[in-house]
Chains A and B, each alone.
Chain A
């Protein structure tokens, strides 16, 4: 119930292509879905986040698509660049919960080939 399943584990995309990372959750009480980007040796940094009252959120080249009925959400990186090469984590949490903590997916290592 508390898991967030992320796929693929690793992804190689050509420069200029579209990178797509998928996540699925089980707990329908989750109502906040952030994505984090982590470069080697650094802490994760918030990239973009969505709440389930919208089906899509776009910030620059990064888009989250959210399918509430399927309990799935995905990150799309348009025009992928070598600087996007990093590990990406999806996450889910429930606001105002006394047990509040973010549940992270297992991560996707993205490599953008020049």
Chain B
């Protein structure tokens, strides 16, 4: 079974530009989570999507946004990039987060390394 996949692996942008990151969850998983991990730091929760809807978001400005498509894949958009947005962006998926059969286990992809120059 394929794991969570993310693209691109690396992304280099300049200040003020927009970045689009993509994630495909494990087959059968409908929940997708996005995290930011700055170098040497912990995981900062960004967004949670389930069944195409945004369920929760972390303490990030509105220029961080995303969406989930009918096939449950997801896209994270970062507008007006700033230098401090440079980080590893991780996507995770889980079995339906709101279902009584939810295991709450999140499976992570390899991440997209975003560098803002």
Question: A residues bordering B, Cβ < 8 Å?
Answer: 32, 34, 36, 41-46, 49, 89, 93, 95-96, 98-102, 104-107
User: What is the number of residues of chain B that contact chain A, defined by CB distance less than 8 Å?
Assistant: 25
A45 to B90, CA, bound (A): 12
Q: Are B42 and A105 in contact (CB under 8 A)?
A: yes
Report how far A107 CA is from B57 CA in the complex, Å.
Answer: 21
A41 to B87: give the CA distance in the assembly, Å: 11
* A98 and B4 alpha carbons, distance in the complex (Å): 23
Give the Cβ gap from A16 to chain B, nearest Cβ, in Å.
28
* Beta-carbon contact of A100 and B97 below 8 Å: yes
Question: Residues of B contacting A41 with CB < 8 Å?
Answer: 88, 110-111, 113
Distance in angstroms between the alpha carbons of A10 and B32 in the assembled complex: 30
Contact with A43, one of B48, B90, B97, B105 (Cβ below 8 angstroms): B90
A104/B42 in contact, CB under 8 A: yes
Residues 87-108 of chain B, each 1 if its beta carbon lies under 8 Å from chain A, else 0: 0101010000110101011111
Task: Identify A89's interface contact among B4, B42, B109, CB under 8 A.
Answer: B42
**Interchain CB contact under 8 A, A46 and B107:** yes
Do the beta carbons of B104 and A99 come within 8 Å of each other? Answer: no
Contact residues of B with A, CB < 8 Å? 4, 33, 41-43, 45, 48, 55-56, 88, 90, 92, 97-98, 100, 102, 104-111, 113
**Within the assembled complex, what's the spacing in Å between the Cα atoms of A99 and B55?**
7
| Across-interface contacts of B108 in A (CB, < 8 A) | 36, 43-45
Q: How far is the CB of B7 from chain A (nearest CB, A)?
A: 13
Beta-carbon contact of B42 and A43 below 8 Å: no
